[in-house]
Amino acid sequence: MMQLAVFDFDSTLIDGETIEFLAHKQGVFEAVSAITKRAMAGELDFYESLQARVKLLQGMQEAQAIQICQNLPLIKGAKEVVSGLKQRGYKVVCLSGGFKFATMHFKNVLGLDGEFSNILHCKNGQLTGEVGGEMMFSFSKGMILRTLQDLLCIPPDKTLVVGDGANDVSMFAHAKKKVAFCAKEILKAHANIIIDTKDLREVLAFA
């Protein structure tokens, strides 16, 4: 039977948070980073924190945002874990509270079967500070995972999920193998596999 592997994107497949790379270039890193830390630790509502952080990117050039998003550093072992899982019959998908500029590019780089993320709204070649998409809420990943399981006829006991932060908790409820990868304590509490080595190839031992 087909199996499903679902990865978070920021600080899981790539080494860092997309929005922080963008914020650094825009000169608002400290403000964005402070909100990110609180959101990932579960101290802030994810939807509100996403809106607040994207608002700080208002006025950034769209072309610059795309360039940054397409040149993010991959986590060690990212390519190997995707190809290794696909060889074992897994469909491999990324669910991200981040942005299409990054996830669509890295879907091709990594050979993912699919990606779900959010869209930075642009007008006249600039970011407006608004964001929309299918991954806006703390429950979004769990909801999309269940939809994928229904579409592909893959049950939770054939599902592996990998993440690092609070907004990954919702997808952990629908998978047998729940991997907390270099993760925040709030996610480790929901995991049954904990990897603290920054190398995604470690996941293959549990697949």
Q: Which residues are catalytic?
A: 8, 10
Return the DSSP state at 44.
S
φ, ψ of residue 204 to 5 degrees: the values are -60, -25
Going through 8-102 in order, the beta strands assigned E by DSSP cover: 90-99
Q: Taking every pair of C-alpha atoms in the chain, what is the biggest distance, in angstroms?
A: 49
Category of 60 on φ-ψ map: left (φ > 0), alpha (ψ -120 to 50) or beta: beta
The one-letter code for the residue type at 174 is H
Name the one residue in this structure whose structure tokens are 């997309």. Answer: 18
